[in-house]
Amino acid sequence: MANILITGANGQLGTELRNRSFSLLDDVFYTDVEELDITNFKAICAFIETHDIDTIINCAAYTAVDQAEDDEEKAMKLNRDAVANLANAAVKLDCLLVHISTDYVFDGTSDHPYTEKDATNPQSVYGRTKLEGEQAIKKSGCLYVIIRTAWLYSGYGHNFVKTISRLASERDELNVVSDQWGTPTYAGDLAEAIISIMERDDLPELEGVYHFTNEGACTWYDFAKEIVALTGANCKVNPVTTEEYPSKVKRPAYSILDKTKIKETFDLEIRDWREALKSCMATF
């Protein structure tokens, strides 16, 4: 039996966790900023003590990658400082902290899928603040599981799948970057993985950093073509280079994550990204 606090519960991953079943013996408390301000250390500690929380799953983050370049203070507040609060509360009150991080902690120059041992080198405010959040967790001394993911989407909130689906119904053509590689991740599959991990009795012995995405690899152009095909829209998708698509942020050219560690440690089977996409879009 566990008492679980989920922060950022109104976001993509938090909503997918709401839609799935933890153990019947678990009490799960879903919170967003209205219920719990994670930038307030005292509020976190009070919530944990009131509800006898033993596990925190932190889905809260500042994820607006472009906006973070102009609002570094807010990104730091949510991605580093709030995470430090959760970690320090976890130490003080003897909780496990499960934290979601990102492929943006890497620079995207690799020629092989990134493992958990590869050197980090974020190239954006978003990536740097997320890495500093990871570092705050490790520095705190709390018991933790950090899960890095990438290209997250679902039927909720704002994401690439929903945007491309909408644009395909409105336009005859779309231009999409074809020289950035990664792996789309269905938030529903990540939620299932988290719940599976939470069921392990030996979790305290498995502390560390893990990578999770769906299987396979593609470019944003490949991803968009698959989305448009599944919508049935009569919309042509054109490949363009990163240079042709100006952005405030230097996005990783290569952000494929190696999932060997999480699959072997927790005996997980992970779906191919195309299969996961079909499953998600069937719910639209």
Q: In this structure, is residue 32 part of a structural domain?
A: yes
Count of the separate structural domains present in the chain: 1
β-sheet with 208-211: strand ranges across: 27-30, 3-7, 55-58, 96-102, 143-149, 208-211
Evaluate whether 30 touches 51 at the Cβ level (below 8 Å). no
Q: In this structure, is residue 102 part of a structural domain?
A: yes
pLDDT in tens, 74-109: 999 999 999 999 999 999 999 999 999 999 999 999
Q: In this structure, is residue 80 part of a structural domain?
A: yes
| Alpha carbon separation from 74 to 65, 125, 174 (Å, rounded) | 12, 11, 32
The pLDDT score that the predictor gives to residue 280 is 97
The pLDDT score that the predictor gives to residue 250 is 83
Q: In this structure, is residue 279 part of a structural domain?
A: no
Strand boundaries in 196-248, DSSP class E: 208-211, 218-219, 236-240
Q: In this structure, is residue 280 part of a structural domain?
A: no
Q: In this structure, is residue 63 part of a structural domain?
A: yes
Shortest CA distance to 83 belongs to which of 58, 53, 105, 116? 58
Token pair in block for residue 65: 């990658």
Q: How many CB atoms lie within 10 A of CB 197?
A: 20
pLDDT in tens, 8-55: 999 999 999 999 988 777 899 999 999 999 999 999 999 999 999 999
State the sign of the Cα–Cα–Cα–Cα dihedral 59, 64, 68, 69. positive
The pLDDT score that the predictor gives to residue 107 is 96
Q: In this structure, is residue 64 part of a structural domain?
A: yes
Q: Please give the distance of CA 88 from its chain centroid, rounded to a whole number.
A: 21
Residue 51's CATH number: 3.40.50.720
Strand boundaries in 113-252, DSSP class E: 143-149, 152-153, 173-177, 181-182, 185-186, 208-211, 218-219, 236-240
Amino acid symbol at 193: A
- Could you give the CA distance from residue 139 to residue 87 in angstroms, rounded to a whole number? 9
The domain in which residue 127 lies consists of 3-158+184-215+255-271
| Counts of helices then strands in the chain (DSSP H, E) | 11, 12
Weakly modelled stretches of the chain, pLDDT under 50: none
Catalytic residues: 126
Q: How many CB atoms lie within 10 A of CB 266?
A: 17
Evaluate whether 214 touches 161 at the Cβ level (below 8 Å). no
Evaluate whether 85 touches 38 at the Cβ level (below 8 Å). yes
Q: In this structure, is residue 220 part of a structural domain?
A: no
pTM over 0.95: yes
